[in-house]
Amino acid sequence: MKRIHIYILGLGIAALSFSACNNDFLDRQPSTSIGSDNFFNGEQDLKLYINNMYNFPGWGIYNDDQSTDNAATTGATEIKLVMGGNPTASAFPGGWNWEQLRSVNYFLTNFRKAPLSEDVMNHYEGLARFFRAQFYVNKVKRYSDVPWYDQVINTNDTELLMKERDPRSLVVEKIMEDYAFAAEHVNETSESGAVNRWIVKAYQAKFALYEGTYRRYHSELALESTASQFLQLAADVSKNIMDGGKFRLYTTGSPTQDYMNLFVQQNLNGNPEVLLATYSENGIRNSGWNETVFGNYEVSPTKDLLQDYLMADGSYYTNQPGYSSFPFVKEFENRDPRLSQTYAYPGFNLLNVDTYSQGGGLYVQQLAKNFTGYHQIKGFVNDPSAVVQNNLDIPVLRYAEILLTYAEAKAELGTLTQGDLDQSINLLRNRVGMPQLSLTPAVDPVQDAKYPNTSTAQRPVLLEIRRERRIEMALEGYRYDDLMRWNAGKLLEKEQEGIYFSGLGKHDLTGDGVPDIILLNNSESIPAVKEKNALGKDFIYYRTGSIGQDAGVFLKNGTSGTVQTSSDNGIFQEPKSYYRPVPQNQVLLNPNLKQIFGW
């Protein structure tokens, strides 16, 4: 089946120029060189227009956990700005962009000029309304209350241009109406890479879970009483997808390889787990993949995430005495196989990818200031071939998420059964050979402390479902939204740490029993002639110290302890930090746009 070339089919439609508007586009009419009278004339026109709306993510998902407790970053991120002081609305000029909405509403105003059957028209209306829902989901996540527009705004529409923010409850109601229409009318099948009914339903369930949990755990909205209806919708829609029988988890029967291999395939077309992927084909558009996914450029995985992975027997890693000071090699012993399919593990064989000065062979963890020392192999193409790298398919929407959504929604509702677990969470665990989750697990004190506000009657199993979600979807860009909807933003205040070192001297990082690196005090110099280890290889030297000192690696105690990434993450102010202000220039243009929640 021919795959749709998303992001690149707008060549013809670009001539319309309706999207060439800036943030204050609402006071403009669409400037068109090809007007609606001579464009919306047939299905090909509608398809071309809709294809221009595609904006699904690419390889960047593997860096999108940055600035959460999953991944530390040396880069500048918005949440760092939010937590780093007391910023005002003028510090957040972005986000208030409505270009996509105008494109959708322009389509919905004009598309019925095409002489097509009602079924075909409803399909295209459903696609447009799906993209409008997606647009407003992002706005609600960022601002909560936003103006709702379902028509093209002209320069003389003063009342609409100067309207206030509509309440979240109204906007979400409209979002759900759009999703519902799309879920009923968008075609069930499509060419690969195009939106179909299953993709619509997956995003409908995703947002229903988001909104249901957000309302449950955010009392500042005063919408707690309506949370259950969204949670029930999330459960019902996910179950509908599950019962449809179209998808299943990808597995070849190799629990130590299948999970990792899912993220480094050149062709996900036909993969039973992938509902939606972005990809490269025929050299028209490459995936944009970059080996910095590995984690030595700005983003690096954290110890906090590593410690959430279970032991291979299903017990809690953090139940072991002294777990916080385990050396790197021990951290990977007898663990959930997904750990060594997500993190570069002791004994990882790195092929000769150009970025890494060590070249190919047994990988010795590279250490650097403000980095955790952990590296990522999830989504990392361990192949020096540019052809392989540039043709990576990115799994944007996985069936695994549907299973997690179903289990979490049912647990939040207090209606989860062992049968529900067996057809959701335990399928994920089966893939990697992990013990199954029971309906009444013992409460892990670490998880208990992370999420003290959970309110369901099935709290113990909900905590484990949250853990499972964190592990299964790790480093795919889900963590920030999860923390926000669970009202767990305070976890972002924790300073993220890396590998633990007992002290100066020689350390084994490859797991072969032969030391690979030497840690020196920052008062010492790295020798010009390096000592060789028992394998005849030069030791790799690092000078250690505390943050702010002249050192190559920052350790908590200067000469021992965990690798340190920062000295202060700032303060997460509740509820203010869960939201962003309307940009100040927009408030000046429209004084009716009042700031909320402390902004």
Question: For residues 30 and 405, which has the higher predicted lDDT (pLDDT)?
Answer: 405
Cα-to-chain-centroid distance, residue 342: 15
Average pLDDT score, the chain: 92
Using CA atoms, how far apart are residues 131 and 140, in angstroms rounded to an integer?
14
What pLDDT sits at residue 29? 35
Question: With bands split at pLDDT 50, 70 and 90, how would you rate the model's confidence at 21?
Answer: very low
Q: Span 92-104, mean pLDDT? A: 96
**Tokens 């322009």 found at:** 106
Question: With bands split at pLDDT 50, 70 and 90, how would you rate the model's confidence at 280?
Answer: low
What pLDDT sits at residue 9? 32
Model confidence pLDDT, tens digit, residues 42-67 = 999 999 999 999 999 988 999 999 99
What pLDDT sits at residue 2? 38
Comparing 211-215, 344-348, 384-388, the range with the smallest average pLDDT is: 384-388
What pLDDT sits at residue 567? 81
Q: Is the pLDDT of residue 74 over 90?
A: yes
Q: Span 527-541, mean pLDDT? A: 97
Q: Is the pLDDT of residue 263 over 70?
A: yes
Using CA atoms, how far apart are residues 125 and 440, in angstroms rounded to an integer?
45
Cα-to-chain-centroid distance, residue 403: 17
* H or E stretch at 139: helix 118-143
Report the DSSP beta bridge partners of residue 517: 507, 540
Question: With bands split at pLDDT 50, 70 and 90, how would you rate the model's confidence at 597?
Answer: very high
Residues contacting residue 237 through CB under 8 Å, at least 6 positions apart: 183, 201, 204, 205, 208
Q: Is the pLDDT of residue 357 over 70?
A: no
Model confidence pLDDT, tens digit, residues 567-582 = 889 999 999 999 999 9
Tokens representing residue 310 in the block: 């279970």
Question: For residues 373 and 384, which has the higher predicted lDDT (pLDDT)?
Answer: 373
Question: For residues 528 and 21, which has the higher predicted lDDT (pLDDT)?
Answer: 528
Comparing 341-350, 387-396, 436-445, the range with the smallest average pLDDT is: 387-396
Q: Is the pLDDT of residue 513 over 50?
A: yes
Question: With bands split at pLDDT 50, 70 and 90, how would you rate the model's confidence at 25?
Answer: very low
Q: Span 455-474, mean pLDDT? A: 97
Using CA atoms, how far apart are residues 585 and 591, in angstroms rounded to an integer?
10
Look up the pTM and report it. 0.94
Residue of 129, 131, 142, 132 lying closest to 210 (CA atoms): 142
Q: Is the pLDDT of residue 284 over 70?
A: no
DSSP E strand stretches across 151-197 = none
Using CA atoms, how far apart are residues 201 and 219, in angstroms rounded to an integer?
28
Q: Is the pLDDT of residue 468 over 50?
A: yes
Residues contacting residue 201 through CB under 8 Å, at least 6 positions apart: 183, 237, 240, 241
Q: What percent of the chain has pLDDT over 70?
A: 92
Residue 409 · residue 234 · CB < 8 Å: yes
Number of other residues whose CB lies within 10 A of the CB of residue 486: 19
